[in-house]
Amino acid sequence: MAPAREVGDSPAIRVENLHHRYPDGNEALRGVDLEVRRGERVAIVGPNGAGKSTLLRHLNGLLEPTDGRVWAAGLEVTPPNYVAVRRRIGYVFQDPNDQLFCPSVLEDVAFGPLHLGLPLEDVAGRVRRALAAVGLNGFEHRVPQRLSAGEKRLVALATVLSYDADILVLDEPSSSLDPRHRRRLIGLLAQLAGTQLIATHDLDLAWECAGRVMLLSQGRVVAEGSSGDVLSNRALLEAHGLELPLRLQAAAD
């Protein structure tokens, strides 16, 4: 089957009636609909087991739907389009050990641009800029497996920034970061152009980085709206195992 043609005016991401059932019978997604416009920043929040990571893994074909359809970067996410879709989505995994596999940080961050066939000078410049953006200048020759959990997470983000993808998808990007690196991450995400979809437990990060929030619970979308509307709704959040962002808790107290 020939790959689908890209639709120029389509949303960056569209998910339609998405269901996913794992082999053990766990129904992780139960009819999720989502649309992310080009250039929009959207956060997906929800308790553990809500289906956030499962949803993200459908965006570049790491999982296939039990039912429903998914489009990303103008292409339907089906096997014939996997290569093209993955070239346009920068995906930061929840566990950075799933993303770092080279002997050095430099090789990990350069891996994507090299496999796009870019000239070596261009690749070197992208590596420098990506590491500088995440605050890891001078880490080029460090061994990724020997870094702290937080440093690994920042290297994983740098591997995606060097790729210069159209869409940035991040699964729990602030997990394991100390306060200084977390602040750098929030500032970086707020400044980056392009489309971002962020799954996170960090509601303060969602407040600062996303214009719109989707609340996922037990595989279903239970609320969606502006960050201010969703994240300031104490009753809604507490009903689904979440708390107000810390900045709002302080104001409420």
pLDDT at 6: 43
**Strand pairing category for 167-171 and 89-92:** parallel
Question: Closest Cα to residue 165, out of 107, 111, 91?
Answer: 91
Q: How far apart are CA 174 and CA 69, in angstroms?
A: 29
Cβ atoms 224, 42 nearer than 8 A = no
| Per-domain residue ranges of the chain | 13-252
pLDDT at 191: 86
pLDDT at 9: 63
Q: How far apart are CA 56 and CA 44, in angstroms?
A: 10
* Fold classified for 13-252: Rossmann fold (3.40.50)
> What is the pLDDT of the chain when averaged over all its residues?
91
Q: State the pTM of this model.
A: 0.90
CB atoms within 10 A of CB 147: 18
pLDDT at 252: 61
pLDDT at 199: 96
Positions in the chain short of pLDDT 70: 1-9, 250-253
